[in-house]
Structure 1
Amino acid sequence: MPDFEKILKQAAMQVGAGGSAGFVEVCIMHPLDLVKTRLQLQATKSKINQSDPHYYRGIVDCMTKMYRHEGMLSFWKGILPPILAETPKRAVKFVTFEQYKRFFMFGSPTPTPLTFALAGLGAGITEAVFVNPFEVVKVTLQSNKQLAAQVPSTWTVTREIVRESGLGFRGLNKGLTATIARNGIFNMVYFGFYHSVKGYMPEYQDPLLEFGRKVIIGFTSGVLGSCVNIPFDVAKSRIQGPQPTPGVIKYSSTTGAIYLVYKEEGFRALYKGLLPKVLRLGPGGAIMLVVYDYVYHFLENKFEKKPNL
């Protein structure tokens, strides 16, 4: 098989497997992503009265109040942008990861942990540039505390952002550096840990044990990545979400947002939303990598069985 044809087939399998993995992960784990965003947007020294239905003391309190005041569908607010982005986003992530992996071999015959980490960093940065506009729309929708039926559509919110602020760093691409830092660091840890550890842990012949092995490694990868990149995630939410004073931009840069949160609310505020993030990206990381592996191997077998024309 010519090398070019082989590369195209591999890319097609990565697109199919990555898109499937992203779709499944988003549909299952989106409510926790929404709760994480709500907690991150809520300042510690908030003027909101604690009896206010939109003041959240934690995950359970947030989910209870959202269900009571916004309805069951509110847990999936802002899900359309990530769903629309997931197939190309995961395609970008996994395809570029494989390409970066070749680049960062540094003469080694096999990939090293450094290779996986640097390839993950490159894939995360590339992914962030693509996905950031979707993140801006998603955070805007997630921060809306009206009933789910009263929330404007994804297209309406997108048009409003573009009309009022344009496509640049104050509009549909605001928070780009924070997204790059968040995704780059997460994927550096996520891919670096997953592929390195998977190579050291022997595979099981038993399908159930092998499934468990991949789930455990994927879960740990997601948890570690979440713990490392959370301050950048908080900064991203503050930049992309509604500003505390309408018309006044308080959070404009990544380092500036991190500094303000630390100065005004303390070090712990930089880890707001960590628990729902871990609860989402721990299992979510496992779901994504396991689904990706199984779909990829399924497609690989299909391609191998299909005769060349």
Structure 2
Amino acid sequence: MSDVEKLLKQAAMQIGAGGSAGFVEVCIMHPLDLVKTRLQIQSNKSAMKPSDPHYYSGIIDCMKKMYRYEGFTSFWKGILPPILAETPKRAVKFATFEQYKKLFMFGSDTPTPLTFSLAGLGAGITEAVLVNPFEVVKVTLQSNKSLATEIPSTWSVTRQIVREHGLGSRGLNKGLTATIARNGVFNMVYFGFYHSVKGYVPEYQDPLSEFLRKVAIGFTSGVLGSCANIPFDVAKSRIQGPQPVPGVVKYSSTSGAIIMVYREEGFRALYKGLLPKVLRLGPGGAIMLVVYDYVYHFLENKFQPKSI
């Protein structure tokens, strides 16, 4: 097999494993992503009262009110954009991560923690550019508090955004800088920690113990990445979500949104939605990395050249 064929085969396995990992993760964890977005776009200075069906005091309260006033299927509002995006998004993330690793070796024979972190940062930035239009549509759908059966379709929301605001920074690419910062920081911590620690924690021969080892490291990676990038996530939700006063753009830039939230609502407001985010990306991070590892090795063994 030529070098080109080996490279293409490896890329195909990375794309297949990455796409599978993303699809499984988003289907399982989407309800928590929706709750996180609802909490993040709700201002502390909101005129809503606790008795208001659209005022949420926490995760459980949000889930109860969504179930009561919007129906069970409301927990999967806005899931089509991430499903459409997840396969290419995760495929790009894992495939580019492997390529960025080669770029950041800095003369070392083996990857270092710095290599993993910088490769993760590069993969996150690349992923963000690809996924941001889907994020804009997803947040628009997630912030709609009508019954799940009454909300407009993904396609009609997309057409409306393009028709009214175009493809630029007011339209489908609204909040791009915040998405780049969010995904870049998350993946820098996520990949940097996971691959660095995985190399130090000895592997187990027992399949169950080895599975739990990977889950534990993946879970910790997801939690640390979530804690590191949450202020950028809050800024992204405020920029891409509905503005407090219709027709008036209050949140437009990443740094401006972060400063405004801090000044008006305090430091804790920059960590809104952290618990559902951790509950999603902790297990979600573990699911992604474990599914990726197992699917990649399955494909590698399946397409291994047979010896004669």
Residue number in structure 1 paired with 2:142: 142
After TM superposition, the structure 1 = structure 2 runs for residues 68-79 of structure 1, keeping only pairs within 5 Å, are 68-79=68-79
TM-score, with length taken from structure 2:
0.99
Q: Name the SS of the counterpart of 2:242 in structure 1.
A: coil
TM-score w.r.t. length of structure 1 = 0.99
| 1:202 maps to 2:205 | no
Which residue does the alignment assign to 1:269? 269
Query: What is the aligned partner in structure 2 of residue 188 from structure 1?
Result: 188
Deviation track 1:205-236 (CA, whole Å, cap 9, x = no partner) reads 00000000000000000000000000000000
Gaps of 5+ in 2: none
Q: Which runs of 5+ in 1 are unaligned?
A: none
Cα separation, 1, equivalents of 2:9 and 2:205: 27
Deviation at residue 3 of structure 1 after TM alignment: 1.1
- SS in structure 1 at match of 2:303: helix
Question: Which segment drifts farther, 220-229 or 299-308?
Answer: 299-308
Matches of 1:11 and 1:35, distance apart in 2: 35
Tell me how far apart the structure 2 counterparts of residues 136 and 96 of structure 1 sit (CA, whole Å): 23
After superposition, the C-alpha distances for 1:93-131 in whole angstroms (9 at most, x for unaligned) are: 011100100000000000000000000000000000000
- Superposition deviation, residue 91 in structure 1: 1.1
Aligned residues: percent identity? 85
Distance in 2 of aligned mates of 1:161 and 1:281: 28
Please name the residue that 2:4 is paired with.
4
Separation of aligned partners in 2, 1:171 and 1:260: 22
Q: Which residue of 2 aligns with 1:13?
A: 13
Query: Structure 1 pair 307/236, CA: closer, same or farther in 2 (3 Å)?
Result: farther
Q: Do the aligned partners of residues 99 and 296 (structure 1) sit closer, same or farther apart at CA in structure 2, a change above 3 Å counting?
A: same
Query: Aligned in 2, Cα 1:49/1:297: closer, same or farther, shift over 3 Å?
Result: same
- After superposition, the Cα gap between the structure-2 partners of 1:306 and 1:138, relative to the gap in structure 1 and judged at 3 Å, is farther
Match of 2:234 in 1: 234
Q: Counterpart in 1 of 2:162?
A: 162
Aligned to 2:211: 211
1:282-301 per-position Cα deviation (integer Å, ceiling 9, x unaligned)? 00000000000000000000
Hey, what's the Cα distance between the residues in 2 that align with 1:91 and 1:36? 24
Hey, what's the Cα distance between the residues in 2 that align with 1:113 and 1:7? Answer: 24
Alpha-carbon distance between aligned partners in 2 of 1:153 and 1:14, rounded to the nearest angstrom:
32
Which residue of structure 2 lines up, in the alignment, with residue 178 of structure 1?
Answer: 178
- Aligned twin of 1:85: 85
**How many angstroms apart in 1 are the aligned matches of 2:306 and 2:63?**
48
- Residue 134 (structure 1) shift: 0.2
Partner of 1:102: 102
Distance 2:172 2:281 in 1: 25
Distance 2:19 2:92 in 1: 10
Q: Secondary structure at the match of 2:252?
A: coil
Q: Offset at 1:30?
A: 0.2
- Partner Cα distance (2:119, 2:305) in 1: 31
Q: Secondary structure at the match of 1:149?
A: coil
Once the two structures are superposed, the pairs formed by residues 21-40 of structure 1 within 5 Å of their partners are: 21-40=21-40
* 1:307 shift after superposition: 8.1
Q: Closer, same or farther in 2 for the Cα pair 1:125/1:271, shift >3 Å?
A: same
**Residue type of the partner of 2:263?**
K
- Cα drift, residue 2 of structure 1: 1.2
Tell me if 1:280 matches 2:280.
Answer: yes
**How big is each residue's C-alpha offset from its partner over 1:117-160, in whole Å with a ceiling of 9 and x where there is no partner?**
00000000000000000000000000000000001000000000
- For 2:42, the equivalent position in structure 1 comes to 42
